[in-house]
Structure 1
């Protein structure tokens, strides 16, 4: 688990360099643009050398045969950008103080997604540490960081990374990330890192010069697929596995969010995801710690989260975009593009109950039967949200819910997310009603590529309406416009929204029937005529009834449970319920305010 086949690894006064270049006849390291060191053929395309001539802090490049000097694709640091020299770093020198830290059970995660560059004015790992008390006050116990692998320039969502082992220099680099994770663990906050194994970005992508990292067998939306099942794939698979282990072992990351796993084309006997889970279990046995793999998957295929011994790939969990889509159309999102597949209320109820909306049903948008059932999956295997980086940033103007919907609907939406029998995720800034957008931005140095990105963004919105021009992804103004405005928290209305979120999260933690993710104790009723959805969740000791009135009228309900004493514990339409529960003995009728959510407790099932 500690041996590295890729990149530079420091051990006291000696450094081992590992390069995978299966078609090269000679591999050399060029140190500080001066001295060249020969690497030895280690078999199966690997080249290695152990030397005292290169140390932590040294700069180097790699020369394959008689070619030009290139950065190391497994570089641990690229302080001068994607075209510059690789720098040796000693990841073992950091002194950790998180020995007492224990990763929470996945079902207890309450996730807050953030982008390092726009979360704070400084856009660094160090600056994140200054905001941890804010997250603790909110009730967050896990942050999810968008990708930090080195990308071109200083502005990017992170999905154009080309050095998977190198932490983005403009964020602070590898040691600053270690400091941030250590600080999070001291505060009781887990760290999830978003990683990309389905493609590499277009600029600074040197891996193809080293070997067959890509295959012509399959294609993805980003071009050729990563080679995990074709000739020479063993080296690529090792590259991925070693990268995964590095984040857990050397950076103490608690979970990885795996980007678009459906775009990883692997028809080999052991899927790369299953191999990752297997390697992770071995690391867990050695370290005594628990780690998680959470996939983003667009296939509604329960095989991704099914254990390997039952024919699956073994991911611990996955994001559910369909919950988001069903919720959005229920609150009035136009049914354009992929939203056309979703019916208000009915599909939200199905996602509450079944996770997947399309689980063997015909999808008009896809024009085919789609998905399979997740009947045996647990609630802690799904992550839901009303906003995330994709669903906000991939709008034409990057608008947040705070500018699209009334405050009543915003409260209703977050109640739906937190009431679900799944792991909830919030997107940075939503907890205080951030008004600034989150837009798509890059900082490519190749102008031809930059123009192609601009054209691609314009084409992306052809199915989604709308007048107006997509913001220029290359403009620094687009990036600056996307930074959180922390001064908003000092304004009464935004602070009130923050208190709303804080109170709701507190209640979720308080009631077992609420925070337990037992999908067998969930029932949903829908009244399409009135626009009301009733979610019933229970344990043997208590029942909770979540009423969602999506209509713009008062709705009256007379339900069978009203014959028993009940307690109203929350109502989005009445600030009076923020601090005190209200007992309603033997109430005969409930009046639900327009565009509101209200929650009632009944002792006993």
Structure 2
């Protein structure tokens, strides 16, 4: 077997095969800075490298870390796995994504236990399961964003074999799989990359420390390192897409941005495999270049999260106005209407939270931009987990408003994203938790959480200890909830909404600007919103005690679904009578659809 490692400044590199073999590596005659050695090794063999006589370290491109991020690497032969379900992939247009964290989706916290719940997701009507990061991180339990081995899979979840079995099982249920990957930093525990080469740089800083070297000397290999790991998950694990964490923290001044190079590589792999592979970026920039095609000098990422939609909807439902919600609290209906039509609320307007103008318009002039490029959601791991107590929307508003949120998300012009458990209004929180094995990182995380809480106007004394095992245990879903009231009713409502979305595929292909949101605030009676998206009308009465009389744009509208069907009806004058804290979906008659 050929072992290779990039160590451009090393004078000598040694391959260590455990338990007792050491072999000097030779510089590659083809690739500058690379070292090579042939040695007999099979699947599961443990090994590591030492640079210039230093300690034995894991392979930066390790496919498996059986003893955690700092332990020896292990050989993985991907060809030994037998896939049971042939898979041609599922494209992003028309998708309904479901974000889950393997370690808390079930009490067991493994891929195997999560796979046993896949029938629930198939019945729910989602199309893709999006896993929070699965690369190795310290300890057993954590969010996964402190990984240091971006080619490997967290062993307590089930390792490489377990992830393949999960993906294969998902495909067997007709579900695609999206993996959340982190390219903006490496975790502090077990991070020995600097001993091999210039993976990090002091030229920039990130919220997590040194930045990844994407544009300095040696950055060609660093970029190839990250792109190679992304392609490996799409190829070797047959994932359908990747969610890219916090791309706004990728510091890159090169003419071709890292994201453009990555999207080009993914598109090339998709063309080679015949599967519709895609990338979804998390970005705080509100920059249309993120998803604009490379031919239009964009980065070519296929979609991005749209926090503006979330913030407007959250503020409308809860009335919260602290932190970044302040920009939306003044007129949440107007803000939500703006995101429905134009994706970004902040498209160059002033942001009081930032103290400056923010963002750019997505569709200047008559430019047609597919609406599916922008994800719509009422909850995510960030928006729940970054709250001091990890309280979900179900802890903030009554079930009727949860039903309103579901209708506006699932029938929005963007691609819907659900967070695990929201479909039944889970009462379990989802908190920030870590399992750092070293005291330094554990203490730093605690300090960071307290500072973040203070920045949002919350008491630092109320911040739970992320290292407390109870933080993770309390965050595990309670799978007895979906079977009992009031959760069962909400779950059935979600199922009906996903079915309606799939029954109207035109929603998946419409451009931005075709959907509109009408609304009425408290001054004119019961506050309500009416989303017009293709042939569908989505009405939501947000009042706690007043029935809404909502004028419909069509006098001939058929009621398709209602949260309170006995009290909901359309009058002869084309007025929808909608009880408090409820939602309804209607379809304009075919003769008026055009």
Partner of 1:44: 32
How many angstroms does 1:551 deviate by? 2.7
More displaced stretch, 528-537 vs 289-298: 528-537
1:358-397 aligned at under 5 Å gives the runs: 358-375=346-363, 376-397=368-389
Return the TM-score normalized by structure 2.
0.94
Partner of 1:537: 533
Task: Verify the 8 A CA contact 1:107 1:517 in the aligned structure 2.
Answer: no
Partner of 2:516: 523
Partner of 2:402: 410
Q: Structure 1: how far apart are the matches of 2:275 and 2:506? A: 28
How many angstroms does 1:556 deviate by? 4.4
Seen in structure 2, the aligned counterparts of structure 1 residues 49 and 596 have a Cα distance that, compared at 3 Å, is same
Partner of 2:265: 279
SS in 2 for 1:461: helix
Task: Verify the 8 A CA contact 1:566 1:586 in the aligned structure 2.
Answer: no
1:179-578 aligned at under 5 Å gives the runs: 179-342=165-328, 343-375=331-363, 376-467=368-459, 469-512=462-505, 514=507, 516-528=509-521, 529-530=523-524, 531-538=527-534, 543-557=535-549, 559=551, 561-562=553-554, 564-574=555-565
Task: Verify the 8 A CA contact 1:195 1:256 in the aligned structure 2.
Answer: yes
How many angstroms does 1:508 deviate by? 2.0
More displaced stretch, 283-292 vs 394-403: 283-292
Which of 121, 124, 140 lines up with 2:107 in the alignment? 121
SS in 2 for 1:462: helix
Seen in structure 2, the aligned counterparts of structure 1 residues 556 and 595 have a Cα distance that, compared at 3 Å, is closer
How many angstroms does 1:278 deviate by? 1.5
Task: Verify the 8 A CA contact 1:551 1:594 in the aligned structure 2.
Answer: yes
SS in 2 for 1:134: helix
Task: Verify the 8 A CA contact 2:411 2:497 in the aligned structure 1.
Answer: no
Return the TM-score normalized by structure 1.
0.92
Structure 1 runs not aligned, ≥5 long: 1-14
How many angstroms does 1:520 deviate by? 4.1
Equivalenced residues, count: 579
How many angstroms does 1:511 deviate by? 3.1
Q: Structure 2: how far apart are the matches of 1:566 and 1:381? A: 29
How many angstroms does 1:465 deviate by? 3.4
Task: Verify the 8 A CA contact 1:566 1:585 in the aligned structure 2.
Answer: no
Summarize deviations over 1:188-240 as a string: whole Å, max 9, x none: 10000000000011111111111111112111111111001001111101101
SS in 2 for 1:163: coil
Summarize deviations over 1:294-336 as a string: whole Å, max 9, x none: 1000000000101111111100000011111010111124211
SS in 2 for 1:256: strand
Q: Structure 1: how far apart are the matches of 2:510 and 2:77? A: 41
Seen in structure 2, the aligned counterparts of structure 1 residues 544 and 44 have a Cα distance that, compared at 3 Å, is same
Structure 2 runs not aligned, ≥5 long: none
More displaced stretch, 377-386 vs 309-318: 377-386
SS in 1 for 2:289: helix
More displaced stretch, 360-369 vs 457-466: 457-466
Seen in structure 2, the aligned counterparts of structure 1 residues 127 and 58 have a Cα distance that, compared at 3 Å, is same
Q: Structure 2: how far apart are the matches of 1:589 and 1:315? A: 42
Q: Structure 2: how far apart are the matches of 1:107 and 1:39? A: 48
Q: Structure 2: how far apart are the matches of 1:514 and 1:291? A: 21
RMSD value over aligned CA atoms? 1.7
Q: Structure 2: how far apart are the matches of 1:256 and 1:470? A: 31
Summarize deviations over 1:387-408 as a string: whole Å, max 9, x none: 1100000000000111111111
